[in-house]
Amino acid sequence: MTIHEREPASARPLLHQGIIPSYLLAKLAESERYTQAAEAARQTLIAPTPAAHRSQLRLSIDENGSLVATVEAAPNRTISDAHGTESLPGTVVRTEDEPTVADVAVNQAFDGLGATFQLLLDAFQRNSVDGKGLALDATVHYGSGYDNAFWNGERMVFGDGDGQVFQGFTASTTVIGHELGHGVVQYTAGLEYQGQPGALNESIADVFGALTEQHLLDQTADEATWLIGAGIFTPAVHGKALRSMLHPGTAYDDPELGKDPQPADMSGYVTTTDDNGGVHINSGIPNRAFALFAVELGGNAWETAGSVWYRALSGGLPASSTFAQFARATIAEADKVSRATGDAARMAWASVGVIKATGDGRSAG
């Protein structure tokens, strides 16, 4: 199989790419302060790992006063309720074109899926995560006190959190965009979920999460918080989010959970066998490269910076790509936009130590 021939998702084992890294759950599982959360974390750690198309008709009047009918891509969302069990998919509680329901989590999941779909369509002309209009399915209220949200290769799954450390995960647009971002990676480069390719997988998912929120709120790169998972911690936790893309290592610092371990550059790269080789930890390095690139360019991050990253991801990127390989791919795409855009990409990657800056202020891979 060449790098351009991706194995269909149906032929692969289901994934379990959760927003909460295992090292954070393991730390929480030892907590004496948050006893309820500790038990929930332990249960989350041992829990088992658990395609239709749609379009919409739009009518408009052209300059001659004639009625024009066009068919455009549209999301096809189905939200199910697991009712506190770990059985998927659960009971269907809301489908496309149905009104809001009484369950807030259902509506939040529905809206988050829609926001991600719209980002992919507007920014990258991508029709859903597979590019072919794949239905967006999600399950809420998964497990009892389940401390995670994840993409399993087919659907989004949301736990409700333990109530002491983690709150429900459906309220965070960045979480939903991140998890569906794993789906986009799955259908494009299929980056291996181990070591540097795995950290790139996590980072690119964070990029999709951040861009989904910024697109929804119509924020520029300067206005954005660049936080992933803001609001998923309860007020008891000393932290503002799960990760900071612009300032890795600063998202939380809690007596029980410890300090955010993400490095901001290659000097702090963590070599470990935990966390699939540090996929959630070392993702802070390419995260910061993207945030620096987007801020340097200014304006809406999904327009130029996001498009550069997306084209690098979907342009035949090897599944085993290292940080340096991905950096070269993004720089090549940035150079196609303009020399200034290419230079901004070079300096971003040089700032995090993935490539070396040259004496003329540019950088070399």
| Residues with a known catalytic role | 179, 280
Most distant pair of Cα atoms in the chain: their distance: 72
Helices then strands (H, E): number in the chain? 10, 14
Q: Which two tokens stand for residue 324?
A: 């340096």
Give the whole-angstrom CA distance, residue 44 versus residue 148.
7
Q: Are 305 and 291 in contact (CB under 8 A)?
A: no
Exposed/middle/buried for residue 44 (C-beta within 10 Å: 0-12, 13-18, 19+): buried
Nearest to 176 by CA among 105, 253, 247: 105
Give the whole-angstrom CA distance, residue 263 versus residue 248.
6
Task: List, in sequence order, every beta strand (DSSP E) within 119-272.
Answer: 136-140, 149-151, 156-158, 227-228, 243-244, 253-254, 258-259
Q: Are 89 and 50 in contact (CB under 8 A)?
A: no
